Structure 1
Amino acid sequence: MNGKVVAVLALLLVSAALSEGRALARMATELRCQCIATHSRFIPPKSIQDVKLTQSGPHCKNVEVIATLKDGKEVCLEPTAPWVQLIIKAILSKAQLNSDSPL
């Protein structure tokens, strides 16, 4: 019986170690920049489905603007491009309007 208890404890420890490793690996991918290169050429708004804005922080020193196109492709946009700055202003003003409205 003592051997069974040791085997069960060993199995639990291995399982815990593996699940913790997965959590650490997931965290490591979230704590870095998402964009390796950026796209600055104009993309027609009709072909953009969604835009995600990530502020700079401990995970990445850069502001990142990631557009999801209607075909499902994700493109990192150059935050300093004038047309991208217009999109960022629109997103921020929309967020400000939503936070000002009563629930």
Structure 2
Amino acid sequence: MKCRIFCVVVLLAFFTVSEVHIAGMSLRGLGVEPRCRCSGTERRRIGKLIESIELFPPNPHCKDTEIIATLKSTGQEICLDITAPWVQKIVEKIMANKAP
């Protein structure tokens, strides 16, 4: 009896700690993040260091629009502050290029 209780506790702990899965697939595998990607943002001008930028609109897991820049030299990803004027200009350019 003690073994059964112990096994149930271990299984519950495992499911609590592991990623959320749907039909055997991780939400990350489906391209869905279970939370916001950015915990902090960069406000300084780093435009010359950026190789690429990805814009992530709000979704059920994160209420914020997130902008993630990949640096040329290191490939490091940095979250940009969407309220910074230079970042807003970049977003405007991205949106203008996507307009039909």
**Which TM-score applies when normalising by structure 1?**
0.66
What is the aligned residue count?
Answer: 76
**SS of the counterpart of 2:67?**
strand
User: Any conservation in 1 of the 2:27–2:34 contact (CA below 8 Å)?
Assistant: no
**Which TM-score applies when normalising by structure 2?**
0.68
Identify the residue that residue 48 of structure 1 maps to in structure 2.
Answer: 50
Identify the residue that residue 14 of structure 1 maps to in structure 2.
Answer: none
Q: CA RMSD in A?
A: 2.0
Q: Which has the larger radius of gyration?
A: 1
Unaligned ranges ≥5, structure 1: 1-18
Identify the residue that residue 59 of structure 1 maps to in structure 2.
Answer: 61
Identify the residue that residue 88 of structure 1 maps to in structure 2.
Answer: 91
Cα distance in 1 between the residues matched to 2:42 and 2:81: 5
Unaligned ranges ≥5, structure 2: 1-22
Query: Which structure has greater helix proportion?
Result: 1
